[in-house]
Every structure is written in C-alpha cells, then in structure tokens.
C-alpha cells in the first residue's frame, strides 16, 4: 500500500501538493471540464482542516520551459477559489521571488497555487536543483496527480528525494487510483472483459499482452483493429495499419486461443475516403472495404456483436475509442459502446483521456464505476510497470 496523507502528522504545517490541473481550455481560456480540479478537493480540504498552509502545484499543457500567458494557471485559480472556502492566491512564477514572498506570508488554512510547473525547464528534465527549490517551500510532500505518475518529472520524482517516509505520501485521489487498478487486475469478478481501441497497437501492445492471461474476453475496436484484421488476411483498404506489428497481432491472436480467451474483432465498419465530417460514408463488412477507403468507426453489426459479448460481463475495462470519435460522423460506435458499458451490471472501469472524453460526451460518466484520470499512467499500471512517481511513496519493506 502507498503511504497515505492520513499517516503523516501535518497539523499546522506547510504542505506541498502536486496536483493534476491539466484541464482542457477553450479558445477563450474557459475550463471545459473541471473534473480534475474537483477530484483534488478532498486532499486539499483534509489539509486545510488540519490547519495547514497549502501550496498547490501543477502543469498545464506543454509550454516547453518558457512563460506562456495562454497556459497560465489563472483559470484554475479562479475555479479553485469557487470550490474551496478560502480564496486561493496565484504566484507569478514557480520558484522565483514572488513565490518565495508569498510562501513566507502564507498562513494556516490559506492556499497558494504556483504558476505552471512547466514554465521551468527543470520540471520535465527531472532536474534535482529545481526539485530542491520546490521541496524547500514546504515541510511535507503529497502527490495527488495520478496522470503524471508515469513520468519522472521534478515535481513527481526528484522532489521525493528531499522528503523522508514520514514526510511524503499519496493524496486520496492517487491512493484510490492505484488501489483500484491493482485490485482490479488481482481479483476481478468474472467474466472479466477488456475493450480496447484507439489509434495504435504499438502504444497498447504490452498492456494487451499483460491483460491476455487475466481476461475472459478481449474486444478490439478503433484503428488498432485493422492491424489484427490485416493479420487475418483481410484487405483493409487505406485503413490505419502498423505493418511492422502484423506478426505481433498474429501472436496475440494465437496466444488468446491458447489461453481460451475469446477475442472479438469488428465485422463491419463505417468507411470513408477521407477522415472528415463532409466525406461520403458507408457501412461495409470488413471484408468489403472498397479500394482507397478506410474504416473510421465500428459499424452497426459490430456494435451489436460487442453488445452481445459484453452482456454477461461482471468486470469491464475500457481503454481507447472505437473510432475517430472527435468527428461526429465517426463517433456513433464509441457512443454506443459507452452506453452499453454504462448500462452493464458490472464493475466498469474506464481508462484514458480520450475514452473518458467519449464517456463524458455520451452522458455516461455518472454510470461508470470508476474513471481513471490518467490515461498513460493507468495503461502503464496494467502493463505491470512501476510508476516513477508512485515507487517512492511505498514503504521500503513493501512491494
């Protein structure tokens, strides 16, 4: 078990909380989805209730180590001020003079949000000097940013070198994410069904291999299905394919057979000549994709097939959209699968930013048992990898 914020004696102290406030913004810098901010509130409130002076830090987008006003955390500060009781201050820099001054004057039960961590080059380089400057701001370190735990960045990994076991722990959100993912893989109620999609096999190959011995059924949709269909000798036209992974796809299918895992692939697709809303589309069986056309979503027969296959699931894990859901014409397959999973009488777990987005757009977010906030991180947990941000938060004598 990771160490919990509850295990630390933080009463009246200065705490640094690494949050994941990497929220989507529209062209006018409005936050379009504030779930990540809301999920950080329990840990922040716990610290405020223990009379802590709270320092919050997060990245937003990819400013590449320079100050970019468009990626300021100001919108996050405003939203946080509405969600938390005290008004939240924002410093003008990350570890500079303004931050030092504001931290010095920060009183118990007050909150200071640092500017975007990635305005400093040291953040993504896991730079120890930068991490030390962050660490010097507080007595305790709390990581509540699951979405970045698979990255060795200064505020996630290097910073932990400056806090001992009694002064560093996971926040409630991180604890929940990790325990949920681990338990899910260890003791799933059966049948355990994994639904995977998205663009590439390459990004999910290891996760697929790791899932195979654990699941009862594997449903593959999205762009990655075409590498498998090609491996079956089907002519997939211009659909997305990773030629160099066709052999791996054959291996995964053979291994599934050996293990008795039922593997489902699309039987029909929504095909078009270009990937745009105004292109002509048609529904075709996968064997009949016309020359020069590509499959951009699963078709109605596949949706029905997948619905049948999901029917008896007790645990359903979903990672990756079934089609190019960003374009309305190719979003129906993903929406339908989202509804089917949401309605299932099963423990339903959604991982990945895109998939969480599909679920939110389909209005199904409240009906899923668990939506992981971190896409890459949740995949790496499934792959069985040790996350660099989480490893330092285990006690030395535990796994």
Residues 321 and 360 sit within 8 Å (Cβ to Cβ): no
Q: At what angle do helices 35-49 and 172-186 cross, to 10 degrees?
A: 120
Q: How far is the CB of 319 from ligand AMP (least distance, A)?
A: 7
Q: How far is the CB of 275 from ligand AMP (least distance, A)?
A: 7
Nearer to ligand AMP, 189 or 277 (CB): 277
Active site residue 35: no
Nearer to ligand AMP, 237 or 388 (CB): 237
Reduced to 3 states (helix: H, G, I; strand: E, B; else coil), residue 334 is helix
Q: How far is the CB of 375 from ligand AMP (least distance, A)?
A: 7
Nearer to ligand AMP, 137 or 298 (CB): 298
Nearer to ligand AMP, 320 or 392 (CB): 320
Nearer to ligand AMP, 132 or 200 (CB): 200
State in Å, rounded, how far the first CA of the chain is from the last one: 8
Q: How far is the CB of 261 from ligand AMP (least distance, A)?
A: 21
H/E element holding 126?
none
Alpha-carbon gap, residue 160 to 111, rounded angstroms? 21
Residues 6+ apart with CB under 8 A from 164: none
Of 203, 353, 361, 385, the active-site residue reads: 353
Residues 324 and 337 sit within 8 Å (Cβ to Cβ): no
Of 13, 35, 200, 385, the active-site residue reads: 200
Nearer to ligand AMP, 42 or 353 (CB): 353
Task: Give the residues across from 394 on adjacent strands.
Answer: 2
Alpha-carbon gap, residue 77 to 222, rounded angstroms? 37
The encoded tokens of residue 238 equal 């211009």
Active site residue 12: no
Interface residues with ligand AMP (CB under 6 A) are: 198-200, 203, 222-223, 240, 295-296, 320-321, 323-324, 326, 352, 354
Residue nearest to ligand AMP (CB): 198
Of 14, 36, 118, 133, the active-site residue reads: 36
Strands, E assignment, the chain: 14-18, 53-57, 88-90, 111-113, 140-143, 168-170, 192-196, 217-220, 262-264, 268-272, 281-285, 294-298, 315-319, 347-351, 370-371
Q: How far is the CB of 101 from ligand AMP (least distance, A)?
A: 42
Of 262, 361, 376, 385, the active-site residue reads: 376
Q: How far is the CB of 127 from ligand AMP (least distance, A)?
A: 28
Alpha-carbon gap, residue 226 to 230, rounded angstroms? 6
The bridge status of strand 347-351 relative to strand 370-371 is parallel
Q: How far is CA 142 from CA 18, 171, 392, in A?
A: 6, 6, 11
Nearer to ligand AMP, 119 or 226 (CB): 226
Residues 6+ apart with CB under 8 A from 307: 336, 340
Active site residue 200: yes
Active site residue 376: yes
CA angle 199, 383, 313 (to 5 degrees): 75
Q: How far is the CB of 102 from ligand AMP (least distance, A)?
A: 38
Catalytic sites, residue numbers: 36, 200, 353, 376
């Amino acid at each position: 078990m990771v160490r919990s914020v509850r295990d630390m004696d933080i009463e009246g102290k200065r705490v640094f909380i690494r949050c994941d406030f990497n929220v989507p913004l529209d062209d006018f810098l409005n936050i379009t989805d504030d779930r990540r901010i809301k999920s950080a509130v329990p840990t922040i409130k716990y610290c405020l209730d223990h009379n802590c002076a709270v320092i919050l830090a997060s990245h937003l987008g990819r400013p590449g180590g320079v100050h970019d006003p468009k990626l300021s955390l100001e919108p996050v500060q405003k939203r946080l001020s509405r969600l938390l009781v005290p008004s939240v201050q924002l410093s003008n820099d990350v570890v500079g003079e303004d931050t030092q001054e504001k931290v010095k004057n920060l009183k118990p039960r007050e909150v200071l949000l640092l500017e975007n961590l990635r305005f400093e080059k040291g953040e993504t380089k896991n730079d120890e000097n930068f991490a030390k400057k962050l660490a010097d701001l507080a007595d305790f370190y709390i990581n509540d940013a699951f979405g970045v735990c698979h990255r060795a960045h200064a505020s996630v990994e290097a910073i932990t070198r400056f806090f001992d076991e009694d002064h560093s722990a996971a926040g409630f959100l991180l604890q929940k994410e990790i325990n949920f993912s681990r338990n899910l893989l260890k003791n799933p109620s059966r049948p355990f069904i994994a639904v995977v999609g998205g663009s590439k096999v390459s990004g999910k190959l290891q996760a697929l291999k790791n899932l195979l011995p654990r699941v009862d059924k594997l449903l593959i949709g999205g762009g990655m299905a075409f590498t498998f269909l090609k491996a079956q000798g089907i002519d997939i036209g211009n659909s997305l394919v990773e030629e160099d992974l066709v052999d791996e796809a054959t291996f995964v299918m053979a291994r599934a057979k050996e293990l008795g895992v039922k593997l489902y692939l699309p039987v029909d697709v929504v095909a078009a000549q270009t990937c745009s809303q105004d292109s002509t589309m048609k529904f075709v069986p996968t064997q009949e994709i016309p020359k020069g056309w590509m499959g951009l979503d699963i078709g109605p027969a596949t949706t029905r097939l997948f619905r049948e296959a999901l029917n008896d699931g007790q645990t359903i894990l979903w990672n990756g959209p079934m089609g190019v859901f960003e374009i309305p014409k190719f979003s129906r397959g993903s929406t339908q699968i989202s509804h089917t999973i949401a309605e299932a009488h099963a423990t339903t777990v959604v991982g990945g930013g895109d998939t969480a987005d599909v679920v939110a757009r389909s209005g199904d977010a409240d009906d899923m048992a668990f939506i992981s906030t971190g896409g890459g991180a949740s995949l790496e947990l499934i792959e069985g990898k040790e996350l660099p941000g989480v490893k330092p938060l285990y006690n030395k004598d535990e796994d």
